[in-house]
Structure 1
Amino acid sequence: MAYRLQSSTSTSVARSDAPRREHLMADLTDRFGTMVFSEDVMKKWLPKDVYKKLAATIEEGQPLDLDVANAVAHAMKEWAIAHGATHYAHWFQPLSGITSEKHDSFLEPNHDGTAITKFSGKALIKGEPDASSFPNGGLRATFEARGYTAWDATSPAFIKDDVLCIPTAFCSYTGEALDKKTPLLRSMTALDEQAKRVLALFGKHPKRVVPSVGDEQEYFLIKKDAYRKRRDLVICGRTLFGAAPCKGQELEEHYFGAIRPTVSAYMKDLDNELWALGIPAKTKHNEVAPCQHELAPVYSELNEAVDNNLLMMEKMKLIASRHDLVCLLHEKPFEGINGSGKHNNWSLGTADENLLDPGDTPLENLQFVVFLTAVIEAVDKYQDLLRASVASCGNDHRLGANEAPPAIMSIFLGDQLTEVVEMLMDGETSVHATTDTLTFGTVLLPNLEQDNTDRNRTSPFAFTGNKFEFRAVGSEANVSDANLVLDCAVAQALRDFADALEGTPEADFQEAALAYCAEHLREHRRILFSGDGYSEAWEKEAESRGLCNFRTAADALPAFVAEKNLALFQELGVLSEAEAVCRYEVKLEKYNKLMNIEATTMIREARRTYRPVITAYATKVAKGLEAIRAAGAEAAMQCEQNTLNKLCNGITDINEAIKALDAVHVKAESMADGQEQANCYAHEVAPAMADLRAAVDAMEEIVAADYWPVPTYDDVLFYV
């Protein structure tokens, strides 16, 4: 390419743009967190003594007295009103998996017809939503309505739609956790306690050990007009019918491709709102499937990361409507192409170090080896519980295909760390794992330092440099569930290490720690796998290793109430038996309800939308054949006769499939036991739904385009 020298005029224009670029850069950083009552805002709006006491509550868990709460509430109110807020709300995460809020005005009327603004420390600390109107798994009867929300000071308040939203926990009148946040915070406490015990053996005494998470959020964007014409998408969030498009993702041209202007405008709008809310949206790109995209934030502490992800999903949906788009977060909106996950990147660290950073020589980094061993042990011992934590109606369609990991839990470490682990198991401790350098064979390109692990898209749990990527989490999920289980499992493994090694003489500690790690790595080596997770060979090998393979949510969910898993939660003080059973019941009930909705929608659509159109088209073809034959041209119409035969046979197949699905659906609905009902939906209703879909989809390729009643995959996935 030839380059033309700039004229003096163009140079002066470029120079005059420099202040503008600096202004834009300043504006970019200035608007980050403008709608968040952050640490920086607290320092400006709170008296110094109040800020110190609040900081002690956030960082050290010290109790917050009412005088401090009143001062914080007043400052929050004044700041929020200055930014346009008129109401406040306790923002919490019931067991439905989404967020809830009830808005109360800051206004307090006076008797003289005037009004003041008021927000007390009591209102900040405690709210009283109806505990019986949210999913509770039998913990609360309908008449037992009282529940409480309690301020979570560790996650900052924020302004959304002119409402000051205060992150809170949610519990019943008798104190049981009815939300996702409370047990997550308990799991973080348990992990902090046990990790600090282990670090004390290395002579380190950090204030806190905190899990950090970065959730890569995948999603689809489609035109609103196409969405409205697909009742299955509107009601179920996924297409229950739809033949494969003429072109899918086989050309691999969408991944990291140029972002179309319609989507780019949406992404810019989304970035601006997320940044204002203090959500560090960092990376955005096209994903593999047509219409699929990804947004990844910078890591943050687990509790805040969960809150941020829930806010992100809410904003993704709301902002899409402004751009004449619809954001689909279902794990598998379209059959035969990539589904959407939420790759949960989990790490553990103190204020000074990442505890999962192997360093240049991981074999000589004993501390890393101890924490790595704990994670490997945790995933193996609680593989069933980890699988259950990501189980959902939507994820059943995603796991095991199109770059989603299989339902079998395993850990991918990469070649170098696998070599390190094998050396440890074999008792070798003198070999260094080195980092290689990649060269491109030309001096025009730089040499690159190779990462210590490759990437394996078929692994549900992969080490990726200084963290683990739990790829099995579904795009629509509240990531509290997966991280709660991960925190608990690792906390128990660290506790066992500390119990075994505390009191060991300092001179013997290294040898004893290595021996402990070697023994436990050998015990749990079955969970390590570096190959193709999609292959039939792996499925057979996994079975021979004794690994779990729960293909459906119905198969996986009972792990929540398995004896060893109930014991894990109770021993660490994270969930009581009643709270754990409650979560199992809620997840089971949601699965059954969603399957019922899908089966009902499918039967109704097949009867009322698809079958009449196919019949009408068959009638048209038959009349055309009759007319042409009457004109004496029968010999030329064999192709049309074949088409008519296929249409008639297809209608018969559809009628039989509707009848079969209806029968097993009625059977499932009649079952009183939730687990039996889930088993019926998973293993009888779902296959019958697949048969009906196949029968209808076969007709889509025969019926004329102007007859087909809904937008096809070609229409939905390829737009400008």
Structure 2
Amino acid sequence: MRERLPKETYKALKKTIDEGATLDLKIAEVVANAMKDWAIERGATHYTHWFQPMTGMTAEKHDSFISPTSDGRVIMEFSGKELIKGESDASSFPSGGLRATFEARGYTAWDCTSPAFLKEDANGITLYIPTAFCSYTGDALDKKTPLLRSMEAISKQALRILRLFGNTTTKKVITTVGAEQEYFLVDKKLYEKRKDLIFTGRTLFGALPPKGQEKEDHYYGSIKERVAAFMQELDIELWKLGVPAKTKHNEVAPAQFEIAPIFDTTNVAADHNQLIMETLKKVADRHGFACLLHEKPFAGVNGSGKHNNWSLSTDDGQNLLKPGRTPHENIQFLLFLTAIIKAVDLHADLLRVSAANPGNDHRLGANEAPPAIISIFLGDQLTEILEQIETGCDVCSKEREILEIGVSTLPQMRKDTTDRNRTSPFAFTGNKFEFRMVPSSASISDPNVITNTIVADVLCEMADELEQAEDFDKAVRKLLRRTIREHKRVIFNGNGYSNEWIEEAARRGLPNIASTVEAIPALITEKAINLFERHKVLSKTELCSRFEILLEDYINTITIEAKTMLLMAKRQILPVGIKFSAQVAESISKIKNIGDFDVSAQVELLEEVTKTLASFKRNLNNLEEAAHKASNMEADSYKKACYYRDVVCAEMKKLREDADHLETIIDEEIWPMPTYSDLLFQL
């Protein structure tokens, strides 16, 4: 931009990006022309307004740069109007009632704070322009619009706090995010033989292999050559797109891996994560893999999440969540910290719904995924400081100790002031909070919209109180004590997997929202509506639309899974079970015809197979009946979703148990699909 734009245009655009100033159409015209020239010089022929509808994926419509002239020729043209605004059909995307079929007009609006980029694929080279997507009536039809609104909301309220501490130079407070993306790779040829992976992204049937992750030998292990080649190309492809991929390694489960980028402004980080997910799949395909982003593609082994590392920084480079060497003296840090604690405690239900989807229902609570109970891990040092503040004791910070390793040739290292807790959903990790519940397949926009808004609301309350104080120092310390006393219940540094914590959380009054269906109604409570409307992040109608979309997604997901199970059960598993039992029966008959031999082993096997087959067929019929009843229900979306969760999912579980048992006793040569042993260990 600095190279291509006139100096004044560059300054004006930077002012918009850095300070949120309004962008003049004349400036946009100059930017559009420079952007077009830059793209065409690199081989681009088309451009697209790239947006994030409420499908959770991205959308794009490609237009060429050509424009007709009066003499029948064409010129390469791209106007400021085309840069700033595009049009799309708004009724063909999920809208939750915001758009009817006949109300088709929608607009894409340029997000100049997220860099445009070029992407090369089979279509050639295309200029991608990140945009927001809204309806003709101005309602948000995407995930980016509320994210940008929430970023403005938290910046506004955080600035009020900074001004109270005498900071007059900061112009903007920025939320920054680094999203760690977990994923599985399986051989593409094996993937293509699994209808469940193709249609649902997870295995609906599958017995555990003899070896899983119990030896803990895959995590951080040596990366296999084939996977390393994939990872190298993945890095290169992401760097081409401007995505700063930084870290890659083997994850806990066999065939599971992780990639993490460098931190960036939240909306840019959200764009980057969408590109990471898309590029993972594209590059995997080139290397003969299928990339699985589902939260629990394999039952009984580690699931995949997306750890959302969230922090607050000023436009002049100050991390507001950095404690410093003496955090007990850093009152500004402690105020922001306690604001986050209060926000999480008051709005745990909203954080839970931001991490809710059908796949995550299978993941949360085990195998390194946090439990469904929202709590905050602070570590010993900060917890001790807050306890001292609450009781009015002399406040001091725990000194960092030397780590005693016991080998004289190794360098001396200072221990961090606190350990890490992998069972905590919302953990403080030095200068940021790590929200570990986020689903691996989901957009990170939703959890960041929630986090930004709930923290903005508490900062607003605190600023309202402190701005009226005659003695600021006395008032802020009083506020800290009261906030800690009233909201310390959400702080928990122990084992989030233990039964004792479930009981303790109940005594503390913390919500335990076990499923997606239970979580979704939090969006349309009076508390939530008032919160989002107060900060102009989401209106009541926008919240109601998201409530309907999430329920519809849940219903559609379980419907597809149930139909896929029935298809596989009827056309693959049942025929093989019958064939195998017939083979065993024939074997018994032939042996008996030869002589009086002991066939008790064969008879026992036949009894086991036929008994399991009979149960399998009964459960198949029950699932079919439940799925049919669910699809014809005339109840509202919530009641219908509850039926799918309570009845259809229960029948799916019973059918799977029989199928998985059959897999362990039927001849491997005739079993109709690749097993977990094949999928997890053939890379």
The one-letter amino acid paired with 1:129 is S
- Range that drifts further, 436-445 or 382-391: 436-445
1:180-225 CA distance string (max 9 Å, x none): 0111011010100100001111101311101100000000011100
Equivalent pair of 2:381/2:397 in contact (CA under 8 Å): no
Name which of 447, 451, 473 aligns with 2:412: 447
Q: Partner residue of 1:290?
A: 254
Q: Partner residue of 1:57?
A: 16
Provide the rounded CA distance (Å) in 2 between the counterparts of 1:419 and 1:281: 36
What pairs with 1:316-715 in structure 2 (closer than 5 Å)?
Answer: 316-350=280-314, 351-505=316-470, 508-635=471-598, 637-672=599-634, 673-715=636-678
Q: Partner residue of 1:163?
A: 126
Equivalent pair of 1:592/1:678 in contact (CA under 8 Å): yes
Provide the rounded CA distance (Å) in 2 between the counterparts of 1:46 and 1:659: 67
Whether 1:85 and 2:50 are equivalent positions in the alignment is no
1:397-432 CA distance string (max 9 Å, x none): 111111100111001111111111111111224322
Equivalent pair of 2:296/2:359 in contact (CA under 8 Å): yes
Gap regions ≥5 residues in structure 1: 1-41
Q: Partner residue of 2:163?
A: 200
Provide the rounded CA distance (Å) in 2 between the counterparts of 1:481 and 1:453: 29
Q: How does the TM-score come out when normalised to structure 1?
A: 0.93
CA offset at residue 134 of structure 1?
A: 0.5
Provide the rounded CA distance (Å) in 1 between the counterparts of 2:486 and 2:526: 21
Whether 1:245 and 2:209 are equivalent positions in the alignment is yes
Q: What secondary structure, in the 3-state scheme, does the structure 2 residue paired with 1:701 have?
A: helix
Q: What secondary structure, in the 3-state scheme, does the structure 2 residue paired with 1:634 have?
A: coil
Name which of 80, 99, 120 aligns with 1:121: 80
Equivalent pair of 1:224/1:321 in contact (CA under 8 Å): yes
Provide the rounded CA distance (Å) in 2 between the counterparts of 1:557 and 1:48: 49
Provide the rounded CA distance (Å) in 2 between the counterparts of 1:644 and 1:269: 51
Q: Partner residue of 1:211?
A: 175
CA offset at residue 110 of structure 1?
A: 3.8
Equivalent pair of 2:338/2:480 in contact (CA under 8 Å): yes
Equivalent pair of 1:341/1:471 in contact (CA under 8 Å): yes
- Range that drifts further, 234-243 or 443-452: 443-452
The one-letter amino acid paired with 1:333 is P
Provide the rounded CA distance (Å) in 2 between the counterparts of 1:430 and 1:588: 48
Equivalent pair of 2:389/2:395 in contact (CA under 8 Å): no
CA offset at residue 245 of structure 1?
A: 0.7
Equivalent pair of 1:410/1:459 in contact (CA under 8 Å): yes
The one-letter amino acid paired with 1:393 is P
Provide the rounded CA distance (Å) in 2 between the counterparts of 1:285 and 1:550: 32
Provide the rounded CA distance (Å) in 2 between the counterparts of 1:633 and 1:333: 49
Q: What secondary structure, in the 3-state scheme, does the structure 2 residue paired with 1:129 have?
A: strand
1:578-612 CA distance string (max 9 Å, x none): 01111111111111101100011111211111010
RMSD of Structure 2 on Structure 1 (CA): 1.0
CA offset at residue 547 of structure 1?
A: 1.0
CA offset at residue 275 of structure 1?
A: 1.0
The one-letter amino acid paired with 2:610 is C
Provide the rounded CA distance (Å) in 1 between the counterparts of 2:116 and 2:54: 21
Q: Partner residue of 1:130?
A: 89
What pairs with 1:39-50 in structure 2 (closer than 5 Å)?
Answer: 42-50=1-9
Provide the rounded CA distance (Å) in 1 between the counterparts of 2:672 and 2:395: 69
Q: Partner residue of 1:144?
A: 103
1:494-526 CA distance string (max 9 Å, x none): 111111111323xx3222211111111111111
Provide the rounded CA distance (Å) in 2 between the counterparts of 1:522 and 1:663: 53
Q: Partner residue of 1:33?
A: none
- Range that drifts further, 553-562 or 415-424: 415-424
CA offset at residue 243 of structure 1?
A: 0.1
Matched positions, count = 676
The one-letter amino acid paired with 1:624 is S
Equivalent pair of 1:360/1:433 in contact (CA under 8 Å): no
CA offset at residue 111 of structure 1?
A: 5.3
CA offset at residue 258 of structure 1?
A: 0.4
The one-letter amino acid paired with 1:238 is R
Equivalent pair of 1:425/1:519 in contact (CA under 8 Å): yes
CA offset at residue 112 of structure 1?
A: 4.7
Equivalent pair of 2:532/2:539 in contact (CA under 8 Å): yes
Equivalent pair of 1:171/1:177 in contact (CA under 8 Å): yes
CA offset at residue 113 of structure 1?
A: 5.0
1:63-95 CA distance string (max 9 Å, x none): 222221111111001100111111000000111
Provide the rounded CA distance (Å) in 2 between the counterparts of 1:237 and 1:633: 51
The one-letter amino acid paired with 2:507 is S
Provide the rounded CA distance (Å) in 1 between the counterparts of 2:71 and 2:163: 64
The one-letter amino acid paired with 1:539 is I
Provide the rounded CA distance (Å) in 2 between the counterparts of 1:694 and 1:425: 52
Q: What secondary structure, in the 3-state scheme, does the structure 2 residue paired with 1:86 have?
A: strand
1:285-335 CA distance string (max 9 Å, x none): 000000000001111111100000001111111111110111100000000
Provide the rounded CA distance (Å) in 1 between the counterparts of 2:577 and 2:11: 71
Gap regions ≥5 residues in structure 2: none
Equivalent pair of 1:453/1:463 in contact (CA under 8 Å): no
The one-letter amino acid paired with 2:399 is T
1:673-699 CA distance string (max 9 Å, x none): 100011111122112111110000001
The one-letter amino acid paired with 1:43 is R
The one-letter amino acid paired with 2:108 is T
The one-letter amino acid paired with 1:210 is I
Provide the rounded CA distance (Å) in 2 between the counterparts of 1:190 and 1:467: 19
Q: How does the TM-score come out when normalised to structure 2?
A: 0.98
